[in-house]
Amino acid sequence: MAISHTNAIRYKYTGNSVTEQKEISVTETGAAELNISHTFAAISSENDTTALDEVTGFDFDDASTALSIYIRLDNCDGALAGGATGTDAMCTLKDGVPYVWSKNGGVNFPTGATNIMVTDTEKLIVTPSANAAGAVPVLTVKVLYNPTP
């Protein structure tokens, strides 16, 4: 059964009481998807930038099989790492701002985005930015891919 994911970017500009809007989207179709949503414990102190408990159960074998990526960190800014030990840098995330990428026939969508998946990922690790005391981070990751035989 084929699975489809659509990444869309909506632009809205308002000036002199005139609003211009445009939405651009790319739909990818693949054979499998990997989805997680993980809630971490509250961050204890203001300048605590210690890596949070690792997210296990996110096994992704081959980064080149990814077709579409959606990653979001809510309630704080932070860095995401993956790989076999969870130490290979993937991206830096702003609170609530998704990182999206579609293969788009090899052209990458949106412009400037790249496939940040790491081959042989067995765990994900989030390192929060400073000034997140009391935050309860929530990591959401969705990846559409075609598994290798």
How confident is the model at residue 111, as a pLDDT? 93
Segment 47-54 mean pLDDT: 78
pLDDT at 49: 76
Domain with 86, as residue range(s), is: 30-145
Domain assignment present for residue 42? The answer is: yes
In-domain check, residue 132: yes
Q: Is residue 8 part of a domain?
A: no
**pLDDT score, position 53:** 77
Sign of CA dihedral 57, 63, 10, 125: positive
Q: What is the mean pLDDT of residues 2-12?
A: 95
Predicted pLDDT of residue 149: 59
d(CA 77, CA 97): 9
- Is residue 12 one of the residues assigned to a domain? no
Is residue 133 one of the residues assigned to a domain?
A: yes
* Domain assignment present for 102: yes
Please give the DSSP secondary-structure letter assigned to residue 109. Answer: B
Q: Which candidate, 7, 52, 57, places its Cα nearest to that of 34? A: 57
Q: pLDDT higher for 9 or 44?
A: 9
Rounded to 10 degrees, what is the CA torsion of 45, 48, 51, 56? Answer: 20
% of the chain residues with pLDDT over 90 = 77
Q: Is residue 15 part of a domain?
A: no
For the record, the structure tokens of 114 come out as 């790249």
Residue 50 is given by DSSP the state: P
**Domain at 141, CATH number:** 2.60.120
Q: What average pLDDT does the segment 24-49 reach?
A: 90
Residue with more model confidence, 33 or 134: 33
d(C-alpha 84, C-alpha 139), whole Å: 19
Q: Give the least confident one: 38-52, 60-74, 96-110, 112-126.
A: 38-52
Bin 108: left if φ > 0, else alpha if -120 < ψ < 50, else beta: left
pLDDT in tens, 75-106: 999 999 999 888 899 999 999 999 999 999 99
Task: Report residue 12: phi and psi, to 5°.
Answer: -135, 125
Structure-block tokens of residue 89: 């840098």
Assigned domain for 62 exists: yes
Indicate if the pLDDT at residue 148 is higher than 80.
no
Q: Is the pLDDT of residue 71 over 90?
A: yes
Total domains in the fold of the chain: 1
Q: What's the CA angle centered on 126, arms 53 and 139, to 5 degrees?
A: 95
